[in-house]
Amino acid sequence: MRGLLLIPALVAAALVYAAFDADSGIQRWLQMRADLEASRARIEEIRREVYALQRDAVELEDDPFAIESAIREDLKLARPGELVLRLSDGNASNPRFP
């Protein structure tokens, strides 16, 4: 009976030792899993960006007004007599506008 209890104790001790031993590879494996999850999140973010760009491209192909608007926005141009309002993105710290 005593021998049967010794085996799980030895296995548990070996697992604890391996978890804290830098040469065992467990810490590296855990870091790689974390890196993999971060990479998957970045891939999903890039897929959303690609989808938005594809949607914008379709709009630009079919709508002359959208083309003109995009060009004027990129070049920061306005038509004669047109009033352009530039709104802050909220990151500027102005004490008058909380």
Is 66 inside any structural domain? yes
Q: How many domains are there within the chain?
A: 1
**CA-wise closest residue to 24 among 15, 32, 33:** 15
Q: Which residues contact 66 (CB under 8 A, 6 or more apart)?
A: 59, 60
Q: Is residue 90 part of a domain?
A: no
What spatial distance separates the first Cα and last Cα of the chain, rounded to whole Å? Answer: 73
pLDDT at position 76 is 82
User: Is 15 domain-assigned?
Assistant: yes
**pLDDT averaged per 10 residues, the chain (length 98):** 75 78 76 96 97 90 85 83 75 58
Tokens linked to 52: 């938005």
Residue 96, domain member (yes or no): no
Indicate whether 95 belongs to any domain. no
| Inside any domain, residue 38 | yes
Would you say residue 81 lies in a domain? no
pTM of the model: 0.51
Answer yes or no: is 88 within a domain. Answer: no
Rounded to 10°, the helix 26-62/2-20 angle is 50
Which residues constitute the domain of residue 24?
2-75
